[in-house]
Amino acid sequence: MRRSRSEHTRLYFPPATAPARRARRRRPALAAALLALAVGLSGCVYRMDIQQGNYLDGPAVRRLKVGMTRKQVRYLLGTPMVDDIFDQDRWEYE
């Protein structure tokens, strides 16, 4: 009787040594520790507040009146961030 092909081509794996077994048991614990470290450090990002535009305080804005000259408005609010080149009566305070 002939043997099947799979019986002839079986691979032999020697039994794992003690250090290899210990290393295999530590892998899940190491992976969990690294994951916890990555999650913990991901919240440690410093974000700097960057002021963009002019700060307009309430009292200065309340002192604005209809009919004030450009010079008076610039004195109260400061220079605008953007002068509109197409509309000279529009100033952008961002």
Quick one: pLDDT at residue 79? Answer: 83
With a cut of 70, say whether residue 12 has pLDDT above it.
Answer: no
- 60 Cβ contact partners less than 8 Å away, ≥ 6 residues apart: 76, 77
Question: CA-CA distances (angstroms) from residue 34 to 21, 24, 72, 81?
Answer: 20, 16, 61, 47
User: Three-state SS for 13?
Assistant: coil
**Please, are residues 54 and 78 in contact by the beta-carbon 8 Å criterion?**
yes
Domain ranges of the chain: 58-92
Sign, CA dihedral 12-15-16-21, equals positive
Residue predicted with more confidence, 7 or 17: 17
Assessment of whether the complete model's pTM goes beyond 0.85: no
Quick one: pLDDT at residue 62? Answer: 92
Q: What is the pLDDT of residues 32-87, one digit of tens each?
A: 889 888 888 777 777 778 777 777 888 988 999 999 998 998 898 888 877 778 88
Quick one: pLDDT at residue 78? Answer: 85
